[in-house]
Amino acid sequence: MKDKNQTAHKLKLFGMQNFMLEGDLEKLEKSGIEIGHIQTLKHDEIVDTELFEYEIRTKAKKMADFYILYYCLENTVRKQIEDTLREEYGPNWFEDKVPDGVKKEIKKKQDEEKDSAMSFRSENPLAYTNFGELIGIINFNWTDFSDIFRSQKAMESTLSQFNKIRNIIAHSCSLNDDEILRFKLLTKDWLRIQI
């Protein structure tokens, strides 16, 4: 009986220590120190991913990192465009400095979204652009970006290749080893071509 009580006590103690550690790790990450712990926790999942096949889940987890990188890159380019043109041309930069063809595509996407039950993705019209359209905006305003990128051709080439990889990621396909390497090199290229 004594052994059973000791074991139960040790299990409770172990559980409490883990519970306290869990809270401490979560506080640490919320304070801005990234240790990857929050990624291991499942909070309020909409759908239990365990319902899907193991192989599909494994590929999805592998591709999640590339989605994060892609998301950061595309939104960094959007922000770079907006910051540059807003600083130079003020609050009406979009109306004055975005090519008509790009504005037309953005409007089309916004109208399609308005006619659906989906919530609006953003008030920012640049959220409706892809890399091809972002290239168009930069080219249209090249004099404003020539001191940011070392070459117009290098900028076009790099963003065009990102757009091709985007299609693989956005359509829930896996990048093969060559494409992973290409993605990593393109990211380095993107940073390298900026003055």
Return phi, psi of residue 56, to 5°: -65, -45
Q: Over 60: is that where the pLDDT of 9 sits? A: no
DSSP line for 148-189: TBS-HHHHHHHHHHHHHHHHHHHTT----HHHHHHHHHHHHH
Average pLDDT over residues 29-49: 65
d(CA 130, CA 119): 19
Note the pLDDT tens digit of each residue in 179-195.
889 998 999 999 999 98
Cα 183 versus chain centre, distance: 14
pLDDT of residue 56: 86
Average pLDDT of the chain to the nearest whole number: 85
Copy the structure tokens of residue 40: 């291991």
d(CA 87, CA 82): 8
